Amino acid sequence: MAKLLCIPLILATSIAFADDDDDKGFGQAGILSKTNRGEIPEISLSSGMPLLENGDTITLKSGTYYELEITADGSQELALAGARFFRAIWVDEFVVEGIEIRPYGIDSMEFDEAGEAELSFVAIKPGSYRFGVPGSDLQTVTITIE
C-alpha cells in the first residue's frame, strides 16, 4: 500500500519543480531554445510587387530557429513555391489564420484571398534556394543557408 502512495507524491513533486525550472529557462534546450532564434524579414504577397521591401535575398544560419511571417493582400491569387528550400529546413509548424499545422513536408502554398500565415522552422542544409511565385522573376527571393 505504501508503494502506491509514493507514486502520486513523486509525480506531484516532479510537476511542481518542472514549473520552477521553466521560469529559469531550463524548460527548452538546444535548437528550440529561446536563445537560438534568428530574425527573418516578413514576406508580402501582392500582385506585381516584390516579396521583400529591401532586396531579394535572405541569409539564414544553419541550426537556428526562425519564424517567417507571410501576408497576402488578396489582390491576386498567388502561390509560393520552393520545394528545395522546404527540403533544406525542419518545419516545426505552419500556422494559417490561427490553425496550427505540423506537416511532414511542404512543397508550396497558395493564397486565394487576403490572409496571414507563419512558418516556424529550423534552417538545416547549407545552400542557396529559390523561393517565390512560380514563373515570376520579380516575386522571387533567394534564401541562403550558411
Taking only the tens place, the pLDDT of each residue in 38-95 is 999 999 999 999 999 888 899 999 999 999 999 999 999 999 999 999 999 999 999 9
Residue 16: the pLDDT is 43
Whether residue 22 is found in the same domain as residue 44:
no
Whether residue 89 is found in the same domain as residue 50:
yes
CA angle 24, 64, 87 (to 5 degrees): 135
CATH number, domain containing residue 94: 2.60.40.420
Mean pLDDT of 127-146: 95
Residue 143: the pLDDT is 97
- 120 φ, ψ (degrees, to nearest 5): -100, 130
Residue 20: the pLDDT is 45
* DSSP classification of residue 98: T
Q: Is residue 80 part of a domain?
A: yes
pTM, entire model: 0.76
Residue 97: the pLDDT is 86
Determine whether 119 is exposed, middle or buried from the number of CB atoms within 10 Å of its CB (0-12, 13-18, 19+): buried
